[in-house]
Amino acid sequence: MDVLLTEEEMMVRTSARQFLERECPTTLVREMEEDSKGYPPALWQKAAELGWQGMSLPERYGGQELPLVFLGLVLQEAGRAVAPLPLHSTVTAALTIAQHAEEKLCEAILPGVAQGKTVLTYAVTELDGRTFADTVQTQAVAEGNQFVINGTKLFVDNFVAADHMLVACRTAPGSRGNSGLSLFLVDTKSPGISHTPLVTLARDKQSEVLFRNVRVAKGNLIGTLNEGAPIIESMLERGAVLLCAQMVGAARKDAEMAIEYAKYREAFGQPIGAFQSLQHMCADQIIWIDGGELLTFEALWLMDQGLPASVEVSQAKAFCNEKCEIAVRHSQSIHGGIGFMMEFDLHLWFRRVSAWSMKLGTTYEHRARIAHALIDLPGRVVLGRPVPVVAEA
């Protein structure tokens, strides 16, 4: 038990931070908000040279095979810099491929990811808007050596930049809930795919993606047919906790800016940071962000140990959704009018943290999962010992 960073972890964090401070000024962030792809390929390439995309991928595909906590540290820094990189969607998909896809697919995709040549994403959520796999309606029907996909996916991150995406489909006709689902690797350029960009709070690239008779080879199935739910769920859970790392990183930088502003900005003959009410706002910011960080990295650490972490992921996301949002809102309030102006940079963080709080599971969704584990499964609970794993529906 030592929840503090090791020297190695500290080094990874520091070098990521320094890299982004150097390479990713807010001018670039603003520029990429207007860019059609939303990211600068040169920076993506440099990130690959630092090993970010392959951080937790197997060495045989060019990865570094480091624990997820290291990847979490990098995403935390990406959040801190609000870096316009399709890193989160790429690693979320890539880790799923690495864990569940057949060797051939891994070989086809993962080296490109590690080299910074490939951008990935995933597509689960549909019109219903909820995060988890049981809401999937998109159909994939077997036809010869192929599956034919029809349906609509929403809120697909970085579709405009992605080469491939993992698409959750219903392969058993008439199935409901978590049964009859499968996950496919789909080339984003496949015939029959069209997309509409969405205008989002984060000014990031999300799309509505329409699948009309999109054909995908049977070999692109990830895992076992009709038994994709656990794979999809674990992808979403990993995605959620890695997003928490980004949120925590962004919220902390954002809070630090407010705290610095409070030391310098004067009112009523004092730095505003000398007023107790404002000090308490700042203290709360840090307490909440620390809490979110601890929850996030505990979940990542459990995953690294191969231990169940569903409950811990939900803890982190439900907490970060609410607390990181209040923390960045506090920063805005501390800045008063200036923070409300587009020309001031603070909103770059505020908008992203707010948007991320609405993705990959709302507070209510995650809390319902936790309550299920706590209350519906047998056995007494003891804080600090594992809660029963969420049973498959």
Partner 1 sequence: MNFGFSPEQEALRKEVLAFIKENLTPGVIAEVEGEEQEVSAGEESAGRKGLARRGPHLSELYRRIGARGWLGITYPKEYGGQGGDRISQYIVEEEFARVGIRVGLVGSGAPAILAAGTEEQKRDFIPRLISGEYSFALGFTEPHAGADLANLRCRAVRDGDEYVINGQKIYTTAAHVATHIYLMARTNTEVPKHDGISIFIFPMDTAGITVRPLVTIQNNPKAPVGTTYGAARTNEVFFDNVRVPKSALLGGENKGWRVGSTGLNLDRVGASRYLISVRRDEDIVNWLKENRHEGNSLGDDPAIRDKIAEMWIEAQVCRLMTMRSMSIVERGGNFTYEGSAEKVWAPEHGTRITEAITQMLGPYGQLMNGSPRTIEKGIFGHNVLGSFQSGINHGSVQIMRDQVARRGLGLPSQRKAQGARK
Rounded to a whole number of angstroms, the minimum distance from the CB of residue 169 to partner 1 is 19
Nearer of residues 37 and 367 to its own copies, judged by Cβ: 367
> Does the protein bind partner 1 through residue 12 (CB under 8 A)?
no
Question: What is d(CA 143, CA 163) in angstroms, rounded to the nearest whole number?
Answer: 24
Task: Write out the DSSP string of 224-254.
Answer: STTB-HHHHHHHHHHHHHHHHHHHHHHHHHH
Residues 247-286 that bind partner 1 (CB under 8 A): 259, 262-263, 266-280, 282-284, 286
Instruction: Give burial (CB, 10 Å; 0-12/13-18/19+) of 383.
Output: exposed
- Main-chain dihedrals φ then ψ at residue 70, nearest 5 degrees: -70, -45
Among 196, 213, 389, 392, binds partner 1 (CB under 8 A): 196
The single-letter code of the amino acid at 145 is N
Nearer of residues 264 and 268 to its own copies, judged by Cβ: 268
> Does the protein bind partner 1 through residue 287 (CB under 8 A)?
yes
Rounded to a whole number of angstroms, the minimum distance from the CB of residue 281 to its own copies is 11
Rounded to a whole number of angstroms, the minimum distance from the CB of residue 194 to partner 1 is 12
CB 297 within 8 A of CB 281: no
Residues 49-88 that bind partner 1 (CB under 8 A): 69
> Hey, is 207 helix, strand or coil?
strand
Among 39, 61, 261, 297, binds partner 1 (CB under 8 A): 297
Q: Around 260, how many Cα atoms within 13 Å sit in the side-chain half-sphere?
A: 7
Residues 253-282 that bind its own copies (CB under 8 A): 275-277, 280
Residue 69 binding target from its own copies, partner 1, none, CB below 5 to 8 Å by type: partner 1
> Does the protein bind partner 1 through residue 357 (CB under 8 A)?
yes
CB 349 within 8 A of CB 356: no
Residue 283 binding target from its own copies, partner 1, none, CB below 5 to 8 Å by type: partner 1
Residues 228-247 that bind partner 1 (CB under 8 A): none
Nearer of residues 27 and 277 to its own copies, judged by Cβ: 277
Rounded to a whole number of angstroms, the minimum distance from the CB of residue 171 to its own copies is 36
Rounded to a whole number of angstroms, the minimum distance from the CB of residue 22 to partner 1 is 25
Rounded to a whole number of angstroms, the minimum distance from the CB of residue 278 to partner 1 is 7
> Hey, is 146 helix, strand or coil?
strand
> Does the protein bind its own copies through residue 36 (CB under 8 A)?
no
In the structure encoding, which two tokens stand for residue 373, read together? 């584990």
> Does the protein bind its own copies through residue 218 (CB under 8 A)?
no
Question: Kindly report the CA angle at 209 between 207 and 212, in degrees rounded to 5?
Answer: 165
> Does the protein bind its own copies through residue 326 (CB under 8 A)?
no
Rounded to a whole number of angstroms, the minimum distance from the CB of residue 149 to its own copies is 36
Question: What is d(CA 100, CA 98) in angstroms, rounded to the nearest whole number?
Answer: 6
Among 53, 96, 138, 354, binds partner 1 (CB under 8 A): 354
Question: Kindly report the CA angle at 13 between 307 and 41, in degrees rounded to 5?
Answer: 100
Rounded to a whole number of angstroms, the minimum distance from the CB of residue 355 to partner 1 is 5
Q: Around 173, how many Cα atoms within 13 Å sit in the side-chain half-sphere?
A: 4
Instruction: Convert 55-75 to b/e letters by CB count within 10 Å (16 or more is b).
Output: bbbeeebbbbebbbbbbbbbb
> Does the protein bind partner 1 through residue 210 (CB under 8 A)?
no
**Which stretches of the chain bind its own copies, using CB under 8 A?**
275-277, 280
